Every structure is written in C-alpha cells, then in structure tokens.
Structure 1
C-alpha cells in the first residue's frame, strides 16, 4: 500500500490536472465565437484536436505501460497543453488553432493513461475501484474551482484570463505529481500485470489476443457512440444560450461547467460504491440513459430560451460523465486484469471515445448551423440510444462485484504469461 503522502499528492494531482487535461474545454468555443468563427468552423477545429488525440491514445497507453517515468509523462504533458493553449490566445487563426488542438489532443492522450497507471500502481487492483471514485471526485472538484475562477476572471478581465488560470493549474499539477514518491509506484501492477511465480518473470499479453477480446470491443463501440452524442453537448449548449443572449459568455459558460461538475462528485463516489457491490453494468446503463433525456431538455431550452433549462441539462451531464469517469477505467482494469496491457487497453477504449467525441463536434456544429441548435441536441441524444442498444445486445460487459473477474469469451487472456 502506498504511503499516505503519495495518496494525498495523487488527490492534489487530480484536483489541479482536471483543468489542464481538457485544455480550454467549453471556453474554447465561446472564445472563438467572439472572434467571429462560425459554429461549423468551431466544430471542425475541435474535431481535428480529437482526431490527433485518437491516433495517439493507444501508443501513449503503450508508452505508459512500458515506462517507469510515469511522473515525467504528466509533467511534460501538462507543459505541452499550456504552450498550445497560449498559442491559441496569441494567434487565433484557423491554422494555429488547428495545430494547437492537435498538440493538445496528443498530450491529453498521454495524461489520462499516466494518471490511471500511477493510481493502479499505488493502490493495486484491490483498491482500484475505491480510489477511482476518489480520483474523479477530486477531478470534478478541481473543475468546479477552475470554472468558478474562470467565470469571475473572464467577467472581470476578459476570456484571456482563462488562459492564465490554466497555466497556474498546470504548475499545481506538476508540483503534485513530483510529490508522489517514486518507490510507492508498483510499475508491474500499474500495467495490470499479474504477479509472477518466483523465478518466472511475468510477461505482457499479446496484442492480437487483446484485440480479439469481444468484451473490450463492445465496450469501445458503446463508449464511442456515447461520446458521439455527449462530446459536443456542453460546448454547443453554451454557444446556443449565448446566441440567445442569455448572459455574459464567460459567466454563463462557467455556470454550465459548475453545475455539471458539482453533480459529478457524488456520482463518482456512487459509481465506486456500486462497482464494489453490484458491478459496473448498472453504472454504465444509468450513464447511457441520462444522455437522451439531456438532449431533449437542451433542445427545449435553446428553442424557447428557457434559462432554467440549464440546470437539468447540466445535472444530467454530471450524472453521465460522473459515472463513466469511474466506470471506464474500472471496467477495463477488470477485463484485462493480469494481462499486463491495462494502459494499452484503456488507450484503445479512449481512442474509441475520441473518435466519437471528435465527430460529435463536427456533426453538431453543422447540424446547428443548417437546422438549428434544437435539432443538433436531438441528433446528439439519439446517438446515446444507439449506444445503449449496442451495449445490451453485445453482452453488457462489466458486471459482477469487486474482486470478481468476468469469464473470457476470447479464450482466457488473464494469465499474464503469454509472450508479447
């Protein structure tokens, strides 16, 4: 078990890294909207960043699996995100923003697996579900802190103040990860490799067998469809309300973030609890069910300019994202326990998520441009219905309480002793 000081540093890392890992998030759309970018252009440039992250996610997962310098990956990734975001502030042309978003996507692709690997290396499989809930709670608390500060600073000093806030959060994340004691990280456990008998070095799972695991592929497709519907919902909702003249852009965008993130904290803790007692299947089904309802309410709120619609829309965002933030790495860890390919498998699933999220912004942007914001929200909500059907028809992987590893339809890949 890791020293308490390392776990405190891990909590601090999740608090500060929350604002860094997602880049400018919904503030990017509002910032570019103020620079007279069209919804289609904003969606396209966000897609480019998502595609870059998609391509990099599996290689970054493999890097985290093989590297014993996981803390350094977090330091470098944080610095890269800040540099790219500053480039957007200084030169918001299409070419600069597209390149910066691509760089952001690649850096973020490394940060997610690095934090997951550090967490698994610190607490091991037995404590992973509970620690995931704590990680996500601190992550969402950090998002609330950053959003409140960004809203205040943006209202007072303008949107460029948001960029300075990101830089300050990056410094906090670097100091936090450096406070984690290197000796507390079990790098074999961090990649999901089963302990080997004395005198027998454990080896990681082969790639072909990993890719043949039907459960992992069903999960990947399900999450790709979910993020196709979810990826553009928050930034598009902010743009839609701003277009309706609902209030100050910085304050309104910050409020959408705060309401969602405040909901995610109890949802993350609930997800960890349900995973330990009921398994992840119920967690994922609830998350999938929240998005279609959210799309309907968002469509009504933007069509009829219902200011109070912001609250149920963002509460439901918190339900879905809060549950999935815990469920995604948790399910992957259970499916690939003992394979030595946890971060690669997580990278594969995150790649699928990235595909969905990247296409989401372009899809929503052009639907909003030609058919209106309400139509865009209905299309996004419909994607979640397809995701739920895929998950249930595909066998709904992720059931069983903590400590129970599901059977392996792909032929049993949990020995951790198959040559890479």
Structure 2
C-alpha cells in the first residue's frame, strides 16, 4: 500500500480552511438584516471582529514561528470557527454575535500563518510559491463549494443551516490537519530560519522583531495592501445588501452567486500566479492587483446589483487570486533567513486587517 504524499492532506486542509478563514462572510449581513439589524449595526460588529483580527495576527504569526505544534494551532483555530458558527445559529443578540466575530477573527488570524508555516516546512523556500499556489487553488475551490452549499441551504432549509455547514468545515479542518504527518514539516524551514533548503539551522538564532520595520519593501507592501482593503472589503457585503433591499432575487442565492463568480476567477488566477510572478516579478503582479480596485469600484457604483454582478466579481477575483499567492511568497522572499517569516505574514495581515476593519464601518 502506497503512503499518501504529505501534500495531499495539505491540499485537503487548504480546501476546508477556506470557510475557517473567511467565516460566513456576507451571509452574516443578510442573516442579521433578516433579524432586524440595521446596516450600521452590522458594520459595527464586523468592525469589532476586524479590529481583533488586526491585533492578533502578528502575535499569531510569532506563535507559529516559535511553536513546533503547527497542526495543533490549525485545530484550535478550527475549533474557534465551530464555536462561532454555533453561537450565531443559537443567539442573534448583539453581544453573542460580537463574541462570535471575535472568535472567527482569532481563528482566521491564526490559520493564515499556520498554513504558510506548514507549507514552507514541507517543501522549502525554492518550491514554496508553486505549492502555495496549489494550496490556494484548493482554498478557492473550498470557497466555491461552501458558497454553493450556503446558497442551496439558505434557499431550501433556511439561513441558520449555513452556520451548521460552517461548523462542519471546521471539523473537517481538524481531521485533515492531523492527517498531515508531523515529521513531514521541517521545524527550521517552517519559519524561514535556514538560508538554504539543505542547511542544518539547529545552531542559527532568529533575528529580533525589529527586522519587520527595518525592511522597507515589507513596509511598502503592508501599507499598499491596507489601502487596498480599505476600499475593497466592504464592497461585496454592501453589494449583497443592495440586492436584498431591492428584492430582485433570493438574498442567499445572490450572495452565493457573488462569491462563486469571484472565487472561480480567483482559482484561475491562483493557478497561474506562481508562473506569472516568476516571469514578471512580484511587484508588477501586485501592481496589476491594485489596479483592479478602482475598476471594480466604478463598476459597482454605476451598475445595478444584478447587472454589475459579473464584472464586479471578476475584477475582485483577479486581484485577490493573484494576491493570495504573490503576497505570502513575496514575504517569504523578503524575510528569508531571519526566522521571522510567519511573524511577517501575521504582521502584514494585521496591517491589511486595519484597512479591512475600517471598510465596513465607513461603508455602513
């Protein structure tokens, strides 16, 4: 009997982790609106979750660097997503929903650096971009599956069942995380401590936290992504709310269609992201992703929800799909040899979250 390659459970984990990282997303706004919540109240709850996510991503990355129990970190993050989904299913008061968003934010913040660390420790720096590209294809496929299931469940059984599905994805994450053989993840490669894939880094010490703010390209990257998320993050929830308010179609199906369109494009973009970055370089690819934001915003502003659904989400898919591979790969490149790769991943995600958490507040 042939032993399963470690990358197989890694891809399975990436598939199910999609729902843990994103939570129920725009479906939450539709669900809360149906329970009498106003857009500004919904925006406030999402902002609280975003602030928590912003604050915990860098510490989560530092924990992934310091720990050799990265699969356990994934399991704990998944457990938080299960608890969050069950809370929303049972209670729709302001504080229970807020607590659920805090749990979702912490789980999502830990999941991102943990998946980067596991991948880097499994394949090394030289092959990281290729494998992480495959991971992201699986991740976007998981988002597509979750969105289709959510649309079907919301239309046939009711919106609360979407949260049950989210809890199921969290359970699957825990199972697939421990399916990965522990010995397949090299502890020094996983944090970018070894300078070369065949080095023994047992006597090398990680650099101090100051390596983050002394790295000017890393700072430029973080600021640019924060501005991108400030304009981008609230667009899909608000677009879905506009469709729901106009009563032009079933809200859960419109929201699912929004997600599926963007995720299909993201999947295609992620599949080619590694190849494109190797040909054109990281910065040109990132420039293309940033340019999609004003195009998406103008389309959303000038076209009614159903007519603008396709172009708005295509632009989102191109930008987010390329970023999902290019940004983690660039951070690995910039912090290679410091032993702080996952801290850098968390810090950049935290700055991104700063823009993302202000976006629904201003939009609402």
Same fold (TM over 0.5): yes
Q: What residue in structure 2 maps to residue 26 of structure 1?
A: 26
Deviation readout 1:293-320 (Å, 9 max, x if unpaired): 111111122xxx3522101111111011
Which of residues 210, 218, 224 in structure 2 aligns to 1:216? 218
Q: Is the 8 A contact 1:300 1:306 kept in 2?
A: no
- In structure 1, the residue matched to 2:74 is 74
- What is the 5 A alignment of 1:20-419? 20-195=20-195, 201-301=203-303, 305=304, 307-365=306-364
Aligned-partner SS, 1:126: coil
Aligned residue-pair number: 360
CA deviation after TM superposition for structure 1 residue 17, in Å: 1.0
- What whole-Å deviation, never above 9, does each CA across 1:256-315 have from its counterpart, x for those lacking one? 0100000001101121111222211121111111111111111122xxx35221011111
Counterpart contact for 1:195–1:202, Cα < 8 Å: no
Shift of 1:200: 6.8
State the match for 1:386 in structure 2: none
1:91 Cα deviation (Å)?
1.2
Query: How far apart are 1:176 and its partner, in Å?
Result: 1.1
Deviations 1:72-97 (A, max 9, x none): 11111101111022112211111111
Moved over 4 A (4+): 195-200
- SS of 2:247's partner is coil
TM-score, scaled to structure 2: 0.96
Query: Would the alpha carbon gap of residues 194 and 320 (structure 1) be closer, same or farther in structure 2, given more than 3 Å must change?
Result: same
Taking the aligned partners of 2:338 and 2:248, their CA distance within structure 1 comes to 51
State the TM-score, normalized to the length of structure 1: 0.83
Secondary structure of 1:265's aligned partner = helix
Please give the root-mean-square deviation of Cα atoms over the aligned residues, in Å. 1.4
Q: How far apart in 1 are the matches of 2:54 and 2:321?
A: 22
Tell me, yes or no, if the aligned pair for 2:207 and 2:339 is still in contact at 8 Å. Answer: yes
Task: Please identify, of 37-46 and 190-199, the stretch whose mean Cα deviation from structure 2 is larger.
Answer: 190-199
What displacement does 1:195 show? Answer: 4.7
**Alignment deviations for residues 324-349 of structure 1 (CA, whole Å, 9 cap, x no partner):** 11111111001001110000111110
Question: Contact conserved, 1:129 with 1:275, CA < 8 A, in 2?
Answer: no
Cα displacement string for residues 104-134 of structure 1 (whole angstroms, at most 9, x for unaligned residues): 1112111110011001011100101111211
Q: Which structure has the bigger radius of gyration?
A: 1
CA contact (8 A) 1:129 1:276 kept: no
Unaligned runs of 5+ in 2: none
Report deviation, 1:34: 0.7
Shift of 1:5: 2.0
| Distance across 1 between alignment mates of 2:201 and 2:91 | 57
Tell me by how many angstroms 1:64 deviates: 0.3
